[in-house]
Amino acid sequence: MAEDFRSASTRHWNDASLLFKAGQLDNANHLLGFAVECAIKMVIQTAGPLPKNPNGKRILGHLPDLWTQAKLYAVHHADLMLELQAVNPFLQWRIEDRYSISGHVSSSDLTPRMTAAKAILSKAGVMP
């Protein structure tokens, strides 16, 4: 299966936006994190092949750690770099949250993430 980070980022953003509007904040939050991850991985990929460990497995992980990794690769994307230098609203986002109890994400958690995600996806060239 070929990876298409742009397509995946767009799909996750669209679904997260619909879920946010419908008040389904937990799943909106989860997909929003994936949208940002895919946009960041797309930018990293433009710098060359994705980094791999000696076993051939990609080193790239998930937010919030990926945010820090992206700063190493986004030097050729000045607008994105400025966004990444800002406070990371995904510091408390965890891939493991998919197993969390429903209702653990509040609007006050998600609203700044939506704003940051929109800016990151735009500056990464995923969306206008």
Q: What is the pLDDT of residues 5-33, one digit of tens each?
A: 999 999 999 999 999 999 999 999 999 99
Domain ranges, residue 73: 5-124
What is the pTM assigned to this prediction?
0.85
Domain count, the chain: 1
Give residue 57's pLDDT. Answer: 65
Kindly report the average pLDDT of the chain as a whole number. Answer: 86
Q: What CA–CA distances, in Å, run from 78 to 71, 73, 74, 75, 121?
A: 10, 11, 7, 6, 14
pLDDT digits (tens, 9 = 90+) for 49-58: 666 666 666 6
- Is the separation of the CB atoms in 39 and 126 below 8 Å? yes
Of 42-51, 75-84, 108-117, give the range with the top mean pLDDT: 108-117
With a cut of 90, say whether residue 43 has pLDDT above it: no
In this structure, what CATH number is given to the domain that contains residue 81? 1.20.120
Kindly tell me the sign of the dihedral angle through the C-alpha atoms of 71, 60, 32, 118: positive
